[in-house]
Structure 1
Amino acid sequence: MSVVEVVAILLAGVAAGTINTVVGSGTLITFPTLLAFGVPPVTANVSNTIGLVPGSASGAIGYRRELAGQRSRVLRLSVASLLGGTTGAVLLLLLPSGAFAAIVPVLIVLGLVLVVLQPRISVWVAARHGSHGGLPAHGAWWVWPAVFVTGVYGGYFGAAQGVLLMAVMGIGIDETLQRLNATKNVLAGLVNAVAGLIFAVVADVDWWIVLLIGVGSVVGGQLGATVGRRLPSAVLRVVIVVVGLVALVVFLAT
């Protein structure tokens, strides 16, 4: 691995850790970076998933104040995320590699659409918070299965699972968006962790990539919980969309 590759992957990890904590969709930074350096798609996906686990933990720690008082809710939804992440990881390993090659471009496009639509989703969520009431503390009945489905998606690929989680919880749980964002960081981290554990045992993992993304994402997680909160979200969205389009082009060209 050349110096250029090391620096690029490390910086991609920092960017992904920051974006995952603030917005979600950090995989759209690291995944295309790995593809650009010739890493096979499935190896890139599993190595990236494991590498982003420390960053998710870092972001959750950075949001620990917003997590106060949410223990019961987080524990309940964590079960859905763990089961979903396990299912998604198993699907990735069992389905033929051709299926991954066919599905990933669709998932990248879905992730980009979600990122682009995030402002409208946020407005809709804010409007819902102003109008609904009487929801259980854990949220509407459909929140748990929806978090499970999001976990399946995250275990399989993962880009924009944070946006999906915020949309689900924002509509179905009567809570502030900042506190839901803290919960999102925990749930997305658990999905990556359980999928990463499975991949570490049975999949082809590039541990140098894991190390570089892991170190970078830890730094990025702290940036996302501090400085990243002050960055214009529009700037982050533009970066994600541009890199995501590059990912789509690179993936289809390989």
Structure 2
Amino acid sequence: MELLILVAAGAIAGAMNAVAGGGTFLTLPALIAAGVPPVLANASSTVALFPAALSSVWAYRKQLRPIGPVSLRALVGVSIAGGLAGALLLLFTPGAVFDKVLPWLLLLAAMMILSGGKLRAWLAARGHRIGPRTTLTGQFIVAIYGGYFGGAVGLITMALWALLSELDFQAAAPARLATVAAANAAAVTCFIVAGAVWWPQAIAVLAGGVIGGYWGAKAGGRLPAGVVRIAVIAVTWVTTAVFFWRGYGPN
């Protein structure tokens, strides 16, 4: 029954990621509820959702392109380095500390999901632009966050790129997926080598994620955008509130 619940959580998370994102907000608490320690649950969730990210990059492979003056190869390179650094940071974070940090990471991700579109528009409308070197530095920092936790990392990436040049967000989606997948690839490799994955639980989530991702992609285009957005926001904020209670509520 526990594995079936994880499959269901993975399926819903896969559908969410295919439509709008936010799947981590389901898989992480589901794994913790199944008895996986928080740090290892975060690692297992990253591993479980990684195949879906790879399939998305493969689907967009012919549309990959640079972001302004910054080559995609450079962005992917620093994303791999940052993802590895974030994964190592996670593995060396004591569980008690992670319990205190996690609610704030969830809150950051929830705020990005809630206001990401407005933030992107605000950044794109500003005349201030950053250069390639600063962009790569920012990409490295974002990738560290992605390897450590990763909630709403795609939105944070797009906000960073909007400072570099006028950004067509639809055209930049393949590059965004590629950099997120690159950071996750480094993190997944690190987690597997370190033995930080609870495989039965991770495979259950992975199986559900593949199914949910496929059907979510098929059904996503027929769902009203407002309904999808409300559902994702509700899940993220409820999960954030639960983890704040778990980390800071009365014992």
TM-score tier by shorter-chain length is 0.7 to 0.9
SS of residue paired to 1:141: helix
- Give the one of 140, 162, 173 matched to 1:170: 162
Matched, 1:60 2:57: yes
Residue 86 of structure 1 aligns with an amino acid whose one-letter code is: L
C-alpha distance in 2, partners of 1:175/1:11? 36
Q: What residue ranges of structure 2 are gaps of 5+ in the alignment? A: none
The answer for the alignment partner of 2:88 in structure 1 is 90
The answer for the alignment partner of 1:154 in structure 2 is 146
Q: Deviations over 1:18-76 (max 9, x none)?
A: 43345433211211222333332112111101111101012222333432x44983211
The answer for the alignment partner of 2:199 in structure 1 is 207
Say whether the 8 Å CA contact 1:84–1:150 is kept in structure 2.
yes
- Give the one of 107, 110, 113 matched to 2:108: 110
Q: CA RMSD in A?
A: 2.8
SS of residue paired to 1:159: coil
Say whether the 8 Å CA contact 1:63–1:225 is kept in structure 2.
no
SS of residue paired to 2:133: coil
The answer for the alignment partner of 1:15 in structure 2 is 12
1:12 Cα offset (Å): 2.5
Matched, 1:47 2:44: yes
C-alpha distance in 2, partners of 1:243/1:112? 9
Say whether the 8 Å CA contact 2:124–2:167 is kept in structure 1.
no
- CA separation of 1:62/1:159 partners in 2, compared to 1, >3 Å: closer, same or farther? same
SS of residue paired to 2:163: helix
1:236 Cα offset (Å): 3.1
- CA separation of 1:13/1:126 partners in 2, compared to 1, >3 Å: closer, same or farther? farther
Q: How many residues align?
A: 244
C-alpha distance in 2, partners of 1:31/1:91? 18
1:167 Cα offset (Å): 1.2
Percentage of identical aligned residues? 34
The answer for the alignment partner of 2:121 in structure 1 is 123
Q: Compare 105-114 and 89-98 and name the one that shifted more.
A: 89-98
The answer for the alignment partner of 2:246 in structure 1 is 253
Q: What residue ranges of structure 1 are gaps of 5+ in the alignment? A: none
Q: Given the two structures, how large is their TM-score scaled by the length of structure 2?
A: 0.83
Q: Deviations over 1:231-251 (max 9, x none)?
A: 444333322332223323443
Q: Given the two structures, how large is their TM-score scaled by the length of structure 1?
A: 0.83
Structural mapping, 1:173-184, within 5 Å: 173-184=165-176
The answer for the alignment partner of 1:6 in structure 2 is 3
Q: Compare 220-229 and 88-97 and name the one that shifted more.
A: 220-229
